[in-house]
Amino acid sequence: MSADGATGPSGDLCIRTLAMPADTNANGDIFGGWLLSQMDVGGGVFASKVARSRTVTVAIEAMNFRKAVYVGDLVSVYANLVRVGRTSMTVHLEAWALRRKELQPILVTDGNFTYVSIDDEGRPQTIRRDEPPIAT
Ligand SMILES: CC(C)(COP(=O)(O)OP(=O)(O)OC[C@H]1O[C@@H](n2cnc3c(N)ncnc32)[C@H](O)[C@@H]1OP(=O)(O)O)[C@@H](O)C(=O)NCCC(=O)NCCS
């Protein structure tokens, strides 16, 4: 994907949802925190598939809010695996919005989210790479 999103979305589609009136800020546009939350949920689903375990978000970096999102936009989050460490992984997440009456989605936000694989007690655990991710 280019910085202006010219080449379209790539990677795993991990969440798709509709921006609703309840998600707006004081300007009437979609609240940035809502979008960040959708990205984190989608990235968490992706990370849990890769790790085959529960995961938690430990860091969010290089977050860009490129374009506004409006009520009625169809928002899709795509994930690409950037790095896998011992217990953590970094996932590049992009949110694309398809506006009503438009044919092409536009890149609205992107960032690098780091997730840690955890055990039942919430402690970091080694990510096993000898098995494929869970298929959904
Ligand atoms: C994530 C958590 C389990 C890590 O516990 P910890 O005792 O710090 O564990 P470690 O120091 O062993 O770090 C675990 C991994 O996270 C990575 N990590 C820790 N802090 C990090 C940070 N700020 N940025 C990037 N990676 C980080 C470490 O490098 C390590 O990766 P590796 O094993 O691949 O080398 C713990 O910090 C936690 O529970 N945080 C709260 C998570 C949460 O509630 N998230 C939702 C936020 S609203």
* pLDDT averaged over every residue in the chain: 93
* Domain boundaries defined on the chain: 12-118
- Taking only the tens place, the pLDDT of each residue in 102-115 is 999 999 999 999 99
Which residue is closest in CA terms to ligand 1's atom 23? 59
Q: Kindly give, in sequence order, each residue whose CB lies less than 8 Å from that of residue 95, ignoring residues fewer than 6 positions away.
A: 35, 38, 39, 69, 75, 76, 77, 107, 108, 109, 110
Centre of ligand 1 to C-alpha 136, Å, is 26
Centre of ligand 1 to C-alpha 123, Å, is 9
pLDDT at 44: 98
Tell me the percentage of the chain whose pLDDT exceeds 70: 95
Which residue is closest in CA terms to ligand 1's atom 12? 124
> Model pTM?
0.94
- Taking only the tens place, the pLDDT of each residue in 40-57 is 999 999 999 999 999 999
CA angle 119, 121, 125 (to 5 degrees): 30
> Would the CB of 56 count as within 6 Å of ligand 1?
yes
Residue 97 has pLDDT above 60, yes or no: yes
pLDDT at 1: 56
> Which CATH fold topology does 12-118 show?
Thiol Ester Dehydrase; Chain A (3.10.129)
b/e sequence 113-131, b meaning 16+ C-beta within 10 Å: bbbbbbeeeeeebebeeee
Centre of ligand 1 to C-alpha 116, Å, is 6
Centre of ligand 1 to C-alpha 117, Å, is 9
| Distance of alpha carbon 92 from alpha carbon 77, whole angstroms | 10
Which residue is closest in CA terms to ligand 1's atom 44? 56
Q: Look-up: residue for tokens 């506004």?
A: 68
Query: In ligand 1, which atom is closest to the CA atom of 84?
Result: 34
DSSP string, 46-96: HHHHHHTSEEEEEEEEEEEE-S---TT-EEEEEEEEEEE-SSEEEEEEEEE
